[in-house]
Amino acid sequence: MLIIVMHNNQDYLDHLTQLAKKEDIRDVAIVKKEHIGTRLIGGDASFTLSRGKMHDAYGRAFVAVVNGEERTRHFLDVIERDHYLDIINIQDKGFVCTVPFYYIKHLELESATIKKEEVKMKIGDYLTEERISLELKTHTKEGVIKELSTLLKNAKELVDFDAFVKDVFEREKLGTTGIGNEIAIPHARTDAVKDFVIAFGRSSEGVEFNSLDGKPAKLIFLIGTQKEKNLNNYLKTLAHLTRLLKRQSFKSLLLKVSSPREIIDAFKKVEM
């Protein structure tokens, strides 16, 4: 689950970071962006919980990844009871919301008119023909994750293959990574990799991923990245990928090309 707190007081956000560390919540980031409200979450986001009012006057936000509903509610209670936060700014407790982590497609950390040079990490630079399967043999979520993981077994980016697979499945327990529109992005921030790594698989029949819209996933991306790397960059990368896949023409191209090389070329062309 993502906990997001928007507030303009840096001390307020820094104190939230300290509270998170005390609760052993390590995946945190403070995002700074003018008029961050709708840019960060999107106007149509479905909140699991929200308090206060989101408006464009906020220019900063605290973002934390919390495992499980019980820990999420506990941390929200910690925030609510903390007297120091009241002292810092009694007139504005900020906008607080929780969003399922699979709602990453709503984390538009850049504006809709994002400049091409602002995308630091390009998916096409990390895909290789050996890490692409255009006809997945398995038809279950567990089977597909294992099949795609096998494509990465000899990847130089992997430190511990078994630990990587385990961490991907642990992440999947937190909520589906089937984002809808026939797309799934199972992923993990893990110590089992030393750099960003990605594999891609395509299923003509589709795989049940408990997706948001109930549709089976036909385009599946398996991603791993270093646990210690900047959370903000990780979210940007996932948001960048989902933005690309929301383009119907690009998605249709990925569904019909006949070779791994064409998949890579499609990404490099759209990311030029």
Neighbours of 68 (CB within 10 A): 12
Spatial neighbors of 140 by CB under 8 A, at least 6 apart, are 207, 208
Q: Among 7, 15, 106, 187, which one carries the catalytic annotation?
A: 187
139 is catalytic: no
Say if residues 241 and 221 touch (Cβ distance below 8 Å). Answer: yes
Question: Tokens 């052993």 correspond to what residue?
Answer: 24
In the structure encoding, which two tokens stand for residue 42, read together? Answer: 């999107």
Neighbours of 251 (CB within 10 A): 17
DSSP string covering the chain, please?
Answer: -EEEEE-S-HHHHHHHHHHHHHTT---EEEEE-TTHHHHHH-TT---SEEES---TT--EEEEEE-SSHHHHHHHHHHHHH-HHHHHH-TT---EEEEE-GGGGGG---S-TT--GGG--S-GGGT--GGGEESS-S--SHHHHHHHHHHHTTT-TTBS-HHHHHHHHHHHHHTS--EEETTEE--EEEETTBSS-EEEEEEEEEEE----TTSPPEEEEEEEEEETTS-HHHHHHHHHHHHHHHT-HHHHHHHHH--SHHHHHHHHHHHT-
- Catalytic annotation, residues: 187
